A and B are shown apart, each in its own frame.
Chain A
Amino acid sequence: MHAQGVAGVVDRVAARYRRDPTCMVQILREIQEACDWISPEAIDRLQATLGLPRTKVEGVAGFYSFFYLNPRGRYRILFSDNITDRMLGSKALIDRLCNSLWVELGKVSEDGLVSVAQTACTGLCDQGPALLVNNYAIGGLTPQRIDEIAELIRSRTPLPEWPAEYFRVEDNIRRTDILLGSELTPGDALRAARARAPDEGLMASNMRSWREGLPTGLGGPVAVLDEIKRANLRGRGGAGFITGLKWEACRNAPLKAGQQRIVVCNADEGEPGTFKDRVLLNTYPDLVFEGMTVAAYAVGATRGFVYLRGEYRYLLDRLNAVLAERRRANLLGADILGNPGADFDIEIHVGAGAYVCGEESALIESLEGKRGTPRNRPPFPVTNGYLDQPTIVNNVETFAAAAMIALKGGDWYAGIGTKHSAGTKILSVSGDCERPGIYEYPFGVSVRQVLHDCGARDTQAVQVSGPSGICVAADEFDRIIGFEDIPTAGAFTVFDHSRDMFEVARNYVHFFQHESCGFCTPCRVGTSLLKNLMDKLHNGAGSPYDFAEIENLNRLLQSMSHCGLGHTACNPVLDTIAKFRPAYEKHMIHSEFTPAFDLDRELAEARQMTGRDDAGAHLASVHGGRA
C-alpha cells in the first residue's frame, strides 16, 4: 500500500476513535487489518494525528504479539501451540504447510506473501489443532485442510472468499446447568433487580446512593448488592475474590469531579486450555451483558468495557450487533428500562495477543491504550482503575452468574454447590478424552466424575486451571472442584499414560517465557533461564545440578516477581517434579554436570543451509541426545 493510502487508513481509523489515545490498541489493530502491518509511514501519520510521541506508539505496538512493525505477508498464519494442539499432531501440520508454501517457520516467504509462526493457545483446544489466519480462527485441522489452505494462499484468494465452514467454531456444550441451561429473556434480570425491595437497614444506603446521584430505581442497587453477597458469589477468573466485596468497594469509592464508575468484563481468556468464555460470548452474550448491566446498576457505573482477547476477534461483529439490539430495547443507553439516571453503555476492546492482559491492572493499562504492564498495587482498581476511576473487573462467567442471581436471588444461588463454593463452574475439558468440550457442574464435583463424563480412559494426570493451576495425579482424582480444594478458572486438560509429563511442563514453561511482560527482572530473565534449563533436559544434557537450578529459579520467581504471571510460572514445573519425578529423571541422563552446549546441535544451521541431514553431516553426538 502506498503512503497516501496508508495515511487515508490512519485518518479514517483515528477519526472513528475520536483521535483518542486511550483507544490506541484498537486503532493499531484496525490499521493493521487494513494495511497488513504497522509501517513506519503509518506511525508517522498516527503520531501526528494523535499528537503523541513516536516512542509512545512504537512502545505500545511493540508490546503485543499480534502487531507487526515489519511486513509479515498478506496471509499471516499463527498455529496454536498449546500442549493439546501438539498432542493432536500440530507439529506435522506445521511442517506440511511450511513445506508446501516453501516458507520457514517464524519467517515470511521469499515473495512476501505469507508468514507461518506459532502463538499461545487460541482457545480451540476441544477442536484442535487450530490456527489463526489474520487473527481469524480455523479449528479441526487435517492434512487435507492444510493442503487446501496452502492452495488458497498460493492462488491469493482473499480471506472473505475462503470456505465459510473453515471458520465455523463449535460450542461442544456437553453438560448444562443453571447458566448454560438458562433461557433468560433479555431485560428480565434487570427488571428483577429493579423490583427488589431493600431490606430493613438498606434504605439508608439507598438514600446515600441518591445523594450521590446514583440510580436507585424502585428497589435499589443496594438490594442487588445484597443479593450478590447473599449468593456468596466468588470471581470465576481463578482467584476467587468475593464479588460482593469488590462491587461494594467500588460503589463506596469516592468520585472526583468528572469521574464515573466503570464496569469491565475480562474476556481475555488466555489461560491455555480455557475456552468457556468463548462459548458464553458466542451463545449467551445477553446473559453476560445483562450481568454487566446489573453490576453497573449495583455499583452506580455508567461506562462498561468488554476486553475481548485478540484470538476471539471473529466474535466482535456479532457481539456489537447484540449490543446494538440491547440499545434498541433500552437495555443499554440512557434511562435503562425507563429508570431515571440508570445510564450505562458497553464498548468492546479487542486485545492483541498478550496473556498478561488477563491480569486486571494490566488489562486496564491496555484499555487505556498502553503497554499491558501490571500496575503497582495498592491502589487497587476498585478505587483507582480505568483512567484513575473506580473500576470493577470481573470474569465473563462471573457476570453471567450475576445476571442469574439478580433474576432468581442470592439464596437460590447459595443453595447450589458447596458451603464454600456457591453455584456452578463451567469447565473447558480437552486433551485425552472422547468428548472434549464445555461442562457445567455445581461446585463440589470430583475430578473422577468429570473424567468419567468426558470419556477419559487410562488417565495419568489432569492439569486443572491451565499452566498457572495445579497438576492432579491419579491418586488425587477424588479431590473436588471448588475454592476449598481445587480452585479453577475452568481449564481441565486430560493426559493419559502415553504422555510425557515433563514435555507438558516444558510446553507451559515456554508459554510463560513467551508471555512474560518483561517489566520485572525475575520474571523477564527468570522465565527465559527456566526455559533454557528445561530445554537442556529435553536435549539430553540434564544432570542433577540442573534440577537443583530449576528448583532455585522457581523459588526466586515465586518470591520476587511483580505479578501473578511470575508467581505461577513455576507451578507446572513444581507440580510435575513433585508428582511425576520419573518423567524428569528420564531426562537427567548424566550424574555429573554437562554443558548445555552441543557442537552437533550448533551445526544444525549448516545442515539446513546445505540441505543435508545424513549421518555424515552429524558429529557423533556427545550426549546421545537429539540433535
Chain B
Amino acid sequence: MSQSFVLDGKGIPFEDGQTILQAAGNAGVFIPHLCFHPEFKPHGSCKLCTVKVNGRHTASCTMRAMPGMVVESNTEELNGERRALTQMLFVEGNHFCPSCEKSGNCQLQATAYHLGMMSPHFDHFFPNRAVDASHPEFLLDFNRCILCSLCVRASRDVDGKNVFALSGRGIKTHLIVNAKSGRLADTDFSLADKAASVCPVGVILRKRQGFAVPIGERRFDKAPIEASAKEA
C-alpha cells in the first residue's frame, strides 16, 4: 500500500489492479454508482461514478488507479452531471417511488436523495412495459429497469444459467429472459439464484413479501447511501 493518488485533495492508497472506485471505497470515500457491484466485473455503463482524472472525465469503476493521479469527484460540476444522469434514468422508465415495494431499499432512489435530485427535470418517456408475473415466487416489473445488467452478470457468472440478457438497441434496449415464451416461469430461475437478490432497483421482486419491513425502517431510511462507501 505504498502507492497513492489524490482524490479531492486527499491521499488515497491503492493496490495494483484496483480501480479508483475500489480504492476510494476502501478509504471510506463514497463515489455514486449503480451498475457497479463489488462481486462482479465492472461494467461501466451507468456512468454515475464518472470522475475527472487529470481533468478528463472517466468512469471510476473501470479506470485503474495509478500513482500520482489527480482525481476530482465530489465537485459541484460532477454531482450536477450525476444528478442529470439520475434524472435521465427516472424519466426513461416508470418509477413511482411511493407505490414501489423497493422504496427505502432502492439504490436509484437513495442515489437521487444523495445527489439532491428534487424533480425529474426532463420530460417523462412513459414507456409501455408489461409486468411479468408468471413465476410462482417472483415478479418482474420491467418499468423500473435501469439496464445495469447486474442480474445478467449474476445469472451468467455466478448462477451459470443465463436467465437474463439485454436485447434491443439504443433507447429500445430491454431486459429479456431465457425462454421462448419470454416468461420467467418458463426459465430455470430460482430463489437461490444470486440474480434473485442483486437488482439495485425494483425489477426482480419476491412475491408475498411486500412491505414485510415497514417504510421508514429500511436500509436507506436508516443510513444514507453514502454511508455504504466501504462496500465498494
Q: How far is the CA of A376 from the CA of B42 in the complex (A)?
A: 9
Contact of A53 among B57, B92, B146, B178 (CB under 8 A): B178
Known: A521-B45, A529-B122. A560 touches B57 (CB 8 A): yes
The residues of A that contact B81 with a CB separation of less than 8 Å are: 556, 559-560
Q: Assess whether B62 is interfacial by the CB under 8 Å rule.
A: yes
A-B contact pairs, 25 of them (CB 8 A): A40-B180, A53-B162, A54-B179, A55-B164, A62-B169, A64-B169, A376-B59, A514-B170, A515-B170, A516-B171, A518-B168, A518-B170, A518-B173, A519-B45, A519-B173, A520-B45, A520-B47, A521-B47, A522-B88, A525-B91, A525-B92, A527-B170, A529-B88, A560-B57, A562-B45
Interface residues of A in 56-92 (CB under 8 A from B): 56, 58-59, 61-65
The residues of B that contact A559 with a CB separation of less than 8 Å are: 50, 57, 81
Q: Assess whether A278 is interfacial by the CB under 8 Å rule.
A: no
Contact of B167 among A59, A354, A526, A556 (CB under 8 A): A59
Contact of B166 with A59 in the complex, beta carbons under 8 Å: yes
Contact of A376 with B62 in the complex, beta carbons under 8 Å: yes
Q: How far is the CA of A484 from the CA of B201 in the complex (A)?
A: 48
Q: Which residue of B lies closest to A561 (CB)?
A: B47
Q: How far is the CA of A148 from the CA of B47 in the complex (A)?
A: 50
The residues of B that contact A521 with a CB separation of less than 8 Å are: 45-48, 85, 88-89, 146
Known: A520-B45, A521-B89, A525-B88. A55 touches B177 (CB 8 A): yes
Contact of A520 with B169 in the complex, beta carbons under 8 Å: no
Q: Assess whether B16 is interfacial by the CB under 8 Å rule.
A: no
Contact of A528 with B45 in the complex, beta carbons under 8 Å: no
Q: Assess whether B12 is interfacial by the CB under 8 Å rule.
A: no
Interface 0/1 of A425-464, CB less than 8 Å to B: 0000000000000000000000000000000000000000
Q: Which residue of B lies closest to A532 (CB)?
A: B123
Q: Assess whether B165 is interfacial by the CB under 8 Å rule.
A: yes
Q: Which residue of B lies closest to A52 (CB)?
A: B162
Contact of A524 with B178 in the complex, beta carbons under 8 Å: no
The residues of B that contact A517 with a CB separation of less than 8 Å are: 169-170
What bracket does the count of chain B residues touching chain A fall in?
Answer: 35 or more
Q: Assess whether A543 is interfacial by the CB under 8 Å rule.
A: no
Q: Assess whether B208 is interfacial by the CB under 8 Å rule.
A: no
The residues of B that contact A335 with a CB separation of less than 8 Å are: none
The residues of B that contact A59 with a CB separation of less than 8 Å are: 165-167, 176
Contact of B167 with A63 in the complex, beta carbons under 8 Å: yes
The residues of B that contact A513 with a CB separation of less than 8 Å are: 170-171
Contact of B168 with A560 in the complex, beta carbons under 8 Å: no
The residues of B that contact A524 with a CB separation of less than 8 Å are: 92, 147, 170-171, 173
Q: Assess whether B202 is interfacial by the CB under 8 Å rule.
A: no
Q: Which residue of B lies closest to A558 (CB)?
A: B57
Q: Assess whether A583 is interfacial by the CB under 8 Å rule.
A: no
Q: How far is the CA of A371 from the CA of B50 in the complex (A)?
A: 24
Q: How far is the CA of A471 from the CA of B160 in the complex (A)?
A: 50
The residues of A that contact B70 with a CB separation of less than 8 Å are: none
Q: Which residue of A lies closest to B43 (CB)?
A: A376
Known: A54-B178, A54-B180, A513-B171. A596 touches B123 (CB 8 A): yes
Interface residues of A in 504-549 (CB under 8 A from B): 513-522, 524-529, 532
Q: Which residues of B contact A (CB under 8 A)?
A: 42, 44-48, 50, 57, 59, 62, 81, 84-85, 88-89, 91-92, 122-123, 125, 146-147, 162-173, 176-180
Q: How far is the CA of A354 from the CA of B168 in the complex (A)?
A: 12
Known: A525-B89, A559-B81. A518 touches B147 (CB 8 A): yes
Q: Which residues of A contact B (CB under 8 A)?
A: 40, 43-44, 53-56, 58-59, 61-65, 354, 371, 376, 513-522, 524-529, 532, 552, 556, 559-562, 596
Contact of B178 with A55 in the complex, beta carbons under 8 Å: yes
Q: How far is the CA of A58 from the CA of B166 in the complex (A)?
A: 9
The residues of A that contact B42 with a CB separation of less than 8 Å are: 376
Rounded to whole Å, the gap between the CB of A498 and the closest CB of chain B is 32
Contact of A58 with B176 in the complex, beta carbons under 8 Å: yes
Known: A376-B44, A528-B125. A63 touches B88 (CB 8 A): no
Rounded to whole Å, the gap between the CB of B139 and the closest CB of chain A is 19
Q: How far is the CA of A102 from the CA of B206 in the complex (A)?
A: 48
The residues of A that contact B123 with a CB separation of less than 8 Å are: 529, 532, 596
Q: Which residue of B lies closest to A377 (CB)?
A: B62
Q: How far is the CA of A81 from the CA of B97 in the complex (A)?
A: 40
The residues of B that contact A515 with a CB separation of less than 8 Å are: 170
Most chain B C-beta atoms within 10 Å of own C-beta, residue among A55, A64, A562, A596: A55
Contact of A58 with B165 in the complex, beta carbons under 8 Å: yes
Contact of A522 with B47 in the complex, beta carbons under 8 Å: yes
Contact of B166 among A61, A371, A514, A522 (CB under 8 A): A371
The residues of B that contact A532 with a CB separation of less than 8 Å are: 123
Most chain B C-beta atoms within 10 Å of own C-beta, residue among A40, A514, A515, A529: A529
Known: A516-B171, A560-B57, A560-B85. A56 touches B162 (CB 8 A): yes
Rounded to whole Å, the gap between the CB of A557 and the closest CB of chain B is 10
Contact of A562 with B47 in the complex, beta carbons under 8 Å: yes
The residues of A that contact B91 with a CB separation of less than 8 Å are: 525, 529
Q: How far is the CA of A40 from the CA of B172 in the complex (A)?
A: 20
Contact of A520 with B46 in the complex, beta carbons under 8 Å: yes
The residues of A that contact B45 with a CB separation of less than 8 Å are: 519-521, 562
Q: How far is the CA of A371 from the CA of B176 in the complex (A)?
A: 14
Rounded to whole Å, the gap between the CB of A59 and the closest CB of chain B is 4
The 4 closest A-B pairs by CB, nearest first: A62-B167, A55-B165, A518-B173, A53-B162
The residues of A that contact B146 with a CB separation of less than 8 Å are: 521
The residues of B that contact A525 with a CB separation of less than 8 Å are: 88-89, 91-92, 171
Q: Which residue of A lies closest to B88 (CB)?
A: A525
Q: Which residue of A lies closest to B85 (CB)?
A: A521
Q: How far is the CA of A53 from the CA of B163 in the complex (A)?
A: 9
The residues of A that contact B173 with a CB separation of less than 8 Å are: 518-519, 524
Contact of B180 with A518 in the complex, beta carbons under 8 Å: no
Most chain B C-beta atoms within 10 Å of own C-beta, residue among A514, A515, A522, A527: A522
Known: A521-B46, A525-B88. A55 touches B162 (CB 8 A): yes
Q: How far is the CA of A562 from the CA of B46 in the complex (A)?
A: 9
The residues of B that contact A522 with a CB separation of less than 8 Å are: 47, 85, 88
Q: How far is the CA of A560 from the CA of B85 in the complex (A)?
A: 9
Contact of B165 with A56 in the complex, beta carbons under 8 Å: yes
Q: Which residue of A lies closest to B91 (CB)?
A: A525
Contact of A518 with B172 in the complex, beta carbons under 8 Å: yes
